[in-house]
Structure 1
Amino acid sequence: MDESSSLLDAAFWVTSAAILALLVLSAFFSGSETALTASSRGKLRAQADRGSGGAATALRITEDSERLIGSVLLGNNLVNILATSLTTALFTRLLGEGGVALATLVMTLLVLIFAEVLPKTYAITNPESAASRVAPVIRVLIFIFAPVVSAVRLLVRGILWVFGVRTDPNSQILSVREEIAGAIALGHSEGAVQKEDRDRLLGALDLGDRTVEEIMRHRSQIEMVDIDNPPEAIITQCLASPHTRLPAYKGERENIVGVIHAKDLLREVDRLLRGANGRLRAIGDLKVMNIARKPYFVPETTPLDEQMRQFLRRKAHFALVVDEYGALRGLITLEDILEEIVGEIADEFDQDEGAPLKRSEAGDYLVDGAMTIRDLNRAMDWHLPDEEANTVAGLVIHEAQMIPSEGQVFSFHGFRFEVAARQENRLTMLKVRPEAKTRPEAARD
């Protein structure tokens, strides 16, 4: 009886209490690591903007993930090892040498259930709220462990350097843009994001990677006004045009001298007809160049997001695109850029040119040669490359290394392309369909 009492003395209870406290600390470190690494920085930023001090602290300490993980792991390993050592000593005192194996089994179960699985499950369920609560304490521990963590970081980098691995603590594996794009794509694959929403969001993200050249209206498709035509003819042309703004040229179509806005033209006609000396014949005195606006030229290599900012800053909707030699390449409007985000925009004055993509009875897709590869990919969820060409016709010409004749068939990138119509050197219509994958049985036959 005396021997049993001596075993359950004050030292026993103090050691048991210390082991319990260490398990609680281990659970805190495990849960903190999961909460801080799994929490969304976007959600933390939103909480911080609403006045959450814990979220603001969590944002600051997660900026240096290497130092954060090093401090948390250091604290977690310290308490786990100390708890295991105390448990082994306690069980050895109670059971002798056989207590070592029992201590190992007991601590494995306790650490696994109460110090790992339980706190991590809670943290992954409520990452942002958990991160906000633990961030102030972790911030203090990071400061305390800073010297040891810094030494460990130098040692680890030195070992990696020996094996030819170079680390950059300021680099991120994924950029913010790629993280957002990946989240959107994942949401679409899981059914949480509709295809139209995915296309709009990714379209907005892609503006910085695309240039004016990719979406501009080619100069062969631009409707222009010959400034030397009689005023009556110019008025008739502007009224018949579906466009509000028309470039005006003199002599050669390359020589753009201004841009005629339909409202400016209408105001000038009204002034001539309703003025003090207004009369119908006064239309012949109309000086179109007096109302033409100065043309706005942009390089073809301008990124779309930058061009949109320029449109908004200049309060302009229309620009002429030139190449590096100053030659006219096409035109671009603010509407063209917006269509890359929200899809095709049409109004009551737009001419119905027919759908650029139709399904034939044979199962092929009839594709307008001028349709961009990006639009085709968005419409069909295909992945045709658009690095070397902007349009479907351009892709066929690039891959064929020639201008194909009508009826020629090509197969590349897992698709079959047939030239359905050609006008001069332009491929105006193509038949496209995915190639059926060859089955292993058929391949062997």
Structure 2
Amino acid sequence: MFAVRLIGVLALVALNGFFAATEFSLVAVRLSRIRQLVAKGNARARVVEALLGDLHRVVSGVQLGITLTSLAIGALGEVTLAKVFQAMWQGESGTHTALLAHAIALACAFALLSALHVVIGELVPKTVSLARAERVALLVAFPFRWFLNTFRWVIDLLDGVSGAIVKALGVSAAHVHGVAHSTEELQIQIQQARERGLLAAGEEKFILSAIELSQIQVREIMVPRPDMHTLPIESTLDEVMRAFATTQRSRIPVYRGSQDHILGFVHIKDMMWVLLDRERRLEENIPPPAFDLSRVLREILIVPETKPASELLLELRTRHVGMALVVDEFGSILGLVTMEDILEQMVGEIHDEFDVVEKPLTLADGALIFDAALNVRDLDAQYNITLPEDPAYATVGGFVLAQLGFIPKGGESFEYGNYRFSVVEMDGKRVAQVKIQRVRSPESETSLPAEAMLQPAKGLKSSSRDS
């Protein structure tokens, strides 16, 4: 009789472990992987997918199973093991009273049952389930579905009562079992995946850049209006082809009157068809028609400066276009953004065989001279020089103007953090080149007050000149 009871206790502990393994494996398993197995016709994966679609019922079923088995373990196990310990205690010493022997036996039985229940019924199954979530989930799928169907009415009753209590507390079911992650949580998970060797460093950088794309506005990555290559609508065929040859662009915006009135853009492929048609006509002694640039214009997309780069990327793909004009709230053209500009935010600079890679000029003292149109994000990513992000500017030149507060002349300089920024060249009222020189080592940051690191030095050398 004792052996039967002992086997029953062990079976209940194993059953408790089954429910614990079910809960953790279904929570930890990847839904994307399960769907791959479903597509291959795996019947167990189909059951797992159905269970994952109703996690509320799964959790209720698991809790019911664990509660019933735990109560049964306590009721059966304590009586069974207590008799064994009581017999051992009385056998060693007959001087103790039966009451003391029974109390000690109960304490020993409780300690042994608790250890058995926690280790075999909880910790081991949970650890295995987290390490082999997919395998365990597929293994428990069919028996757990049978359990849910068998005790459906009990689970529905418990769900109804718990749902009423939760609703009274003002919490919706979606908030209880929601599994959505914020952007910050996703970034942490991706970093952890790289630390565990599941992602390469390059893959981590690419994924994080793609996530951060929604936080970048098109004004931060656009080609500013002064740097845009445009053509007037009156341009001749030779002028158009010369513009394509000198700019190495495949698309050039076309305007009438001024750049504030962009009509569209001309594509190099359309111009090639024009040239081929003219060549064919000349071979057939047919006079070619007068060139009219308006006949080959394509519609250009116009977007606000605050549009997220991720949304623009999707819109460019949907419309099958490769560029868009950026305008401010008053409709004035601020610049131009291409699909390549957006992709470079994820994969870094993209250069083809025609691009001339421009590197900053390095002086003998270690200072670097940058094009003022360099984006502050690129300055941080490529040279580890971090500037504060501010809606007032997106480039190094804009940062210089924001710090000085006036239109500078060549040679104006100021200190910010560990660096001195000097205006090397002006293009009218626009900063063209900036020299950045380290004036103190990073270790000295700890000896500076926060204001000295986060704001320009109080004594702006607005009248100093660089020799």
**TM-score of the pair, normalised by structure 2:** 0.76
Match of 1:297 in 2: 302
3-state SS of 2:436 partner: strand
8 Å contact kept, 1:396–1:417: no
Q: Does 1:147 align with 2:161?
A: no
Contact 2:327–2:335 at 8 Å: present in 1 too? yes
| Cα distance change of structure 1 residues 375 and 154 upon mapping to structure 2, 3 Å threshold | farther
Structure 1 residue 22 displacement after superposition: 0.9
C-alpha distance after superposition, 1:306-346 (max 9, x if no partner):
33333333332232223333321212222222222222222
Deviations 1:77-129 (A, max 9, x none): 33123212222222444523432011112112211332123222321221111
Is contact 2:235-2:293 (8 Å) kept? no
1:231, 1:283 within 8 Å by CA — same for their partners in 2?
Answer: no
Match of 2:109 in 1: 103
Corresponding position of 1:87: 77
Aligned partners of 1:42, 1:176: CA distance in 2, in Å?
Answer: 19
Cα pair distance change 1:438/1:236, threshold 3 Å: closer
Structure 2 counterpart of 1:212? 218
SS of match in other structure, 2:442: coil
Tell me the amino acid that sits aligned with residue 13 of structure 2.
L
1:23 aligns with 2:23: no
Work out which of the residue numbers 169, 174, 199 in structure 2 matches 1:170: 174
Change in 2 beyond 3 A, CA 1:127/1:310 = same
**CA offset at residue 44 of structure 1?**
2.5
Partner secondary structure for residue 302 of structure 1: coil
Q: Give 3-state SS (helix, strand or coil) of 1:408's partner.
A: strand
Provide, for residues 134-186 of structure 1, a one-character-per-residue CA deviation record: whole Å limited to 9, x for no partner: 2343345453423224424544665xx4xxxx534314364276555333222
Q: Which amino acid in the other structure matches residue 372 of structure 1?
A: N
Task: Give the conservation status (yes or no) of the 8 Å contact 2:60–2:158.
Answer: no
What letter is aligned with 2:171? T
Letter in 2 for 1:131: A
What CA distance in whole angstroms lies between the structure 2 residues aligned with 1:432 and 1:185?
33
Q: Distance in 2 between matches of 1:195 and 1:420?
A: 37
Structure 2: distance between partners of 1:372 and 1:345:
15
CA contact (8 A) 1:38 1:127 kept: yes
Partner-residue secondary structure (3-state), 1:170? helix
1:421 is aligned to 2:420: no
C-alpha distance in 2 between matches for 1:198 and 1:394 = 31
Cα distance, 1:147–1:264 mapped onto 2, change above 3 Å: same
Residues 320/88 of structure 1: CA separation in 2 closer, same or farther (3 Å cut): same
The residue type paired with residue 316 of structure 1 is V
AA in 2 matched with 1:182:
I
Cα deviation, 1:332-385, whole Å, max 9, x if unaligned, reads 2222222222222222332x25126x7776566665433333334444678765
98-107 or 173-182, larger mean C-alpha shift = 173-182
What's 2:313 paired with?
308
TM-score (norm 1): 0.79
The aligned counterpart of 2:374 is 371
For 1:22, the aligned partner's letter is L
Alignment correspondent of 2:323: 318
The 2-side partners of 1:398 and 1:264 are apart by: 43
SS of 2:413's partner is coil
How far off its partner does 1:192 sit?
5.1
Q: Work out whether residues 366 and 437 of structure 2, in 8 Å CA contact, stay in contact via their aligned partners in 1.
A: no
Question: Residues 181, 139 of structure 1: CA spacing in aligned structure 2 closer, same or farther, 3 A cutoff?
Answer: farther
| Fraction of identical pairs, as percent | 25
Match of 2:414 in 1: 408
Provide, for residues 173-214 of structure 1, a one-character-per-residue CA deviation record: whole Å limited to 9, x for no partner: 642765553332223445654443222222333334433333
8 Å Cα contact 1:404-1:419 kept in structure 2 = no
Q: Distance in 1 between matches of 2:441 and 2:118?
A: 52
Q: SS at the partner of 2:352?
A: coil
C-alpha distance in structure 2 between counterparts of 1:368 and 1:258, whole Å: 29
**Residues of 2 paired with 1:365 and 1:195: CA distance?**
28
| Partner residue, 2:227 | 221
RMSD: 3.7
How far apart are 1:432 and its partner, in Å?
A: 6.8
Instruction: Quickly say closer, same or farther: Cα 1:403–1:195, change in 2 above 3 A.
Output: farther
Summarize the alignment of residues 187-198 of structure 1 with structure 2, pairs less than 5 Å apart. Answer: 187-189=193-195, 193-198=199-204
- Measured in 2, the distance between the counterparts of 1:255 and 1:99 equals 94
Gaps of 5+ in 1: 1-9
After TM superposition, the structure 1 = structure 2 runs for residues 37-436 of structure 1, keeping only pairs within 5 Å, are 37-63=27-53, 65=55, 67-94=57-84, 95=86, 96-142=102-148, 143=152, 144-152=154-162, 154-155=164-165, 161=169, 167-171=171-175, 172=178, 174-175=180-181, 180-189=186-195, 193-276=199-282, 285-350=290-355, 352=356, 354-355=358-359, 368-379=371-382, 386=389, 388=391, 389-395=393-399, 397-398=401-402, 406-411=412-417, 416=419, 418-423=421-426, 424-426=429-431, 428-431=433-436, 436=442
